[in-house]
Every structure is written in C-alpha cells, then in structure tokens.
Chain A
Amino acid sequence: MRKCTKCGLPETYETIEFDQFQVCNICRQREHRDGSIDWAARHVMLDDMIEQYRGKYDYDCIIPFSGGKDSTFTLYYLIKKYKIKPLVIQFNHGFMRPNLLKNNERTFKKLGVDVLTFTPNFKVVKRLMLEALIRKGDFCWHCHTGIFSYPMHVAIKYQVPLIMWGEPSSEYTAYYDYRDDEIESVDETRFNRFVNLGITAQDMAGMINHDFDLDPRDLKPYTYPPTRDLKQLKYRSVCLGSFIPWDVKAQSKIIMDELGWQGDQVEGMPWDIYPYEKIECYMQGVRDYIKYLKRGYSRVTQMTALDIRHNRVDKAAADKLVAEYEGKRPPSLELFLGYLGLTEDEFNNIVLNTVVPPFKPDFENMQDAPKTWDFDLWYREEV
C-alpha cells in the first residue's frame, strides 16, 4: 500500500491524497494550521462569541460530552477560562467503561455543572449496529448519529443556540480542510457529509423492515432536527478546536493534572504510550479491529501520525509500534458477536465485503490482543 512518507497514513485512509513528495494532505493541512492560521484572531472570535451568548438563555451553551479527553478538555477550558454556565449532554452509546463513569462523576462534581444523559433503547441499538455493520462495515452508526443529532434536539428543546464541540475534524480528515480557512460548522451538511456514513435515519427505517418491530419514533434520536428549527433558534454549532490549536497530548495532561482525569487501557493499543485515547467505549477494540481488517491500519497508526506531525516521535519508532500492536483480535469481539447474534465466520464474511482495496486482510494467523483490566465487568448477553 502507498503510505505518506511523513506520517505513515495509508492510501486506504478516508479523504487522503498524496502530493509529488508522497506527503499526504492531512499533513499538509496540519502545516497550514500551524504556519498560516491567525490563531490570535481566532481567539478574539471565540471571546466575542462567548460574550454574544452569555446570560441570555437558560444556559450559555450546550456541551456535548462523552467523557473522553476532548470533550473533558472542552468543558474544563470553557468553564475555567470563561466561567460559562453550560448544559452538558451525554449520549450513552451503551458501552461506557467503569473508569470513564468515574472520570465523568469527578469532572462534573469538580467543575459544578448541570448534566443530562440520554440512553437509547438497547434492542434498537443492537439492530442498528447489525445493519450498519452489514451496509458499511461500521457498526457505530447509532453512536455517530446520536452523538451529533441528539444534542441539537436538546438545544431546540431548551432554546440554547450555542453548541460547543471539541476537536475539529480537520485534525484527522480533509472533509474540512484547514487550508480553506473557514470555521467548521457542525451542522446538517457535516452530518450528511461523513458523520452518518451516508445513511439517514429514514434510510434505516426503510432497510430494517422485515425482522424487527421498529417504531418510527425509535429513530428520532438519530435524526438530525429540521434546519428550519435550528435556523429559528439562530444556532451556532462550532468546535473549540477551530479557535485554539488542538493538542491532544498537552490537553490530556492538563485534565489529568487539574481534574484527576484518568486514562485507561484500550484493546490493541500500547497502554503505556497512549493511555488517553478512546477510553470511552468497550467496543472500541472491535471498532479498531474492523478498521484494520478493512483498511490495513488501526488506531496506533492514527496516533503516531499525530505525534509525528507534532515532532514527538520519529517515523522509525512509530513503525515499530504499529508493527507490534496493530492487527490483533480483541477480546471484546466475543461480546460483540453475542450482541449481534453472529458467529466469527459470519462476522469475517460481512467485513470482507467492505474491505477497501488494495488492502487484503488475512484472517488466518490472527493473534489475540490482551484483555484490559475491566474486561470481565462488561455487559454480556445471556446465551
């Protein structure tokens, strides 16, 4: 596979392009971010925006919150720097880990915030996971769409127009390119461009019509609210990372030091080096495993790519980590197959249909990744 000579991302990576030096566009937009964006001016924009919405509504803003490093930093930063009064919205995807729940309780109590948590029907979630896995090789549709649409419904219900997200997508992909020098708007266009995998809730209703008693209302949390309602609210939905340059490692350290936020072991990752990434979900290992089977890389590659762009690790050391950790079957696969009622062969055949060429997965000779400390605490379907 062709790979970026700088960061190592392969040609199967979404939105990637290579220039004449075989350096990828994600690296190039990152160079633009650090060299050409006027961050002082962006910071003034943030100051003005916060003041524009302060004190006029039941809450100054809505902060969608998973409890991972990015949303925790966003909440911490906005409260510490601006003393805003937010409404924190948690969309429970169904697989929140024990350490995450502890982190969240600590964060909420230390910062002093109002929190709403929404947990959708798990029977519906499982059926959506199966459909999205079959259609796209990505079982996380309910989480992608729920995370990005549910807080918008809450914004309308509470009539709070400012919604503050954390990390801009330009850090990882080129759906929104830093070189366009625009503020990424977290809106329905973005939702349909990549968040929902090209599948709307209406599509889901049409596809799940033979083996499951789906009430049309079951899909409301995954449906983007009408643009008209958001426009009438005069909403503004943006990422904090469009106004301050995002730095996951530095920000993780801040929340660890200031809030006692704790990282965790994540299946398939080097635990000592990346304890802060994707600690929210105990299906993360399966997600990363499928990514590897489809595209020939996994989260280790993504994390080292970020660190290479920050000059925090050299390419040789990154390659070594990737070789050692990627492409191992996670223990959580067993639970996942239980939820969806699939055998591993059925799972492999489904994933095989969604492989991105030129990568070819090798299902034989697959090694197992080690269990994390909390593996035995995760929910299991009774057989």
Chain B
Amino acid sequence: MIGIVNYGMGNIRSVANAVYEQGFDPLLINNADDFSQATHVILPGVGHFKKAMANLEQLSLLTPLKQAVLTDKKPLLGICLGMQLLLSHSEEGDCAGLDLIAGDVRLFRDPKFRVPHVGWNNLNGVVKHPVLRGIPAMADFYFVHSYYASTASQHTLAQCEYDRNFSAIVGVNNIIGMQFHPEKSQKNGLLLIENFCNWDGLC
C-alpha cells in the first residue's frame, strides 16, 4: 500500500485519489504504527513550513518517518511543501527541516516576478531517473509556491525557470521530492505518481 502522511497540512484527498486511479491502494498514515503497512511513503503538504514541522513532531511522526526512509529504505515522495521539508532549513519561519537532502528553502525576492509562482511551467535539465521515465522533454507541471529549494546540483533532478532556475525535482537514494503538484498535473503528473508507486527506491 502507498502510505500518505496525514499530518494536518492539506491536500491528502487529491493525492490519495491520484494513487487510487493509477491502480494502487492509498493508506493514510496517522500514527507511527501505520508505516509498517506502507511499501512507499508520500509526504504531501500545503501551508507554512514551521507549522508543518511542528505538526509532524506533535503527532510523533518525525522519528518513524525517518526510520521508514533511512532504515527500512522505503521510497519517499515529497510534494510541494512536503518536498521542501526534505531539505535542511527554510527561511519560512527560520526552521530546520528533515535534513534528508542537504539544501535550503528560500523566498522568491525578485520584485519583477509575482509571488507566489502559480501555474503551469516546464522543466529543464531533467536527469535520467526511474521515477522520471517516459516524461516528455517539454512537459508542463502545475506549480503553486512562494519559496523554492536551493540544493547542490547532484541532488537536483530537474529545474524550473522562474526569476531564477530553481530545483523543481530533488532526490537522493530512495528519496524524491517535487515542487509542483503531480496529482494536479494531468497525464504527465499521474505518470510520475505511477512511476513512483512502481519504484523500488534504487537509482
């Protein structure tokens, strides 16, 4: 079953529906015990970085999440805020993240560009990765975010051009994160979710 971490940060139902439509069985993860039934873990998220970290802590999900990913090597997909949480630190609330991938989350500051970055945008510099298989070169995905991930190039699997070229997909080992919403990105987004659910976590 595909575990979806339910930590009060929105967007659970649309992710669960997308997983279900692709032929997999979604499972809401409400507590530490639920991780054992999940073969894969999805960390969705809409809202404030600091609040999200606080919720994970409060619901006692932080340690079991890290254990599922780092010890049990279950594939992990972070979506939007869930992707930002994978990194070391965010400017939003000046808060430490899960630190699964080295990097920072920063605010878009160029006044010539509207914040948040909302809408469909294409990726560039897409690397070969099992989860990204079959995605056409100029495919568009749906973004809505005010903060962006800044990571080293070896952790960046794809970039997106806004006021700067930022990391749109990040990854290391069995962990992958997407700044855009695959569950809201039609055919190509659903393919990413399908690929993730079929992924064994190896690169």
Which A residues contact B (CB, under 8 angstroms)?
182, 189, 227-232, 234
Contact = CB atoms under 8 A, between A and B. Distances in A.
A231 B22 contact: yes
Contacts of A189: 187
B187 A231 contact: no
A325 to B, nearest CB: 41
A364 to B, nearest CB: 48
Nearest to B194: A231
B21 interface: yes
Given A227-B22, A231-B194, 13 more contacts: A182-B136, A189-B187, A227-B21, A227-B23, A228-B20, A228-B21, A229-B23, A230-B23, A231-B21, A231-B22, A231-B23, A232-B23, A234-B23
Interface string B188-203: 0000001000000000
A139 B22 CA distance: 33
Contacts of B136: 182
Contacts of A182: 136
Task: Summarize A's interface: helix, strand, loop or mixed.
Answer: helix
Interface in B31-47: none
A234 to B, nearest CB: 8
Nearest to A182: B136
A182 B20 CA distance: 26
A228 B194 CA distance: 11
17 contacts: A182-B136, A189-B187, A227-B21, A227-B22, A227-B23, A228-B20, A228-B21, A228-B22, A228-B23, A229-B23, A230-B23, A231-B21, A231-B22, A231-B23, A231-B194, A232-B23, A234-B23
Contacts of B187: 189
Nearest to A227: B21
Contacts of B194: 231
B14 to A, nearest CB: 15
A183 to B, nearest CB: 11
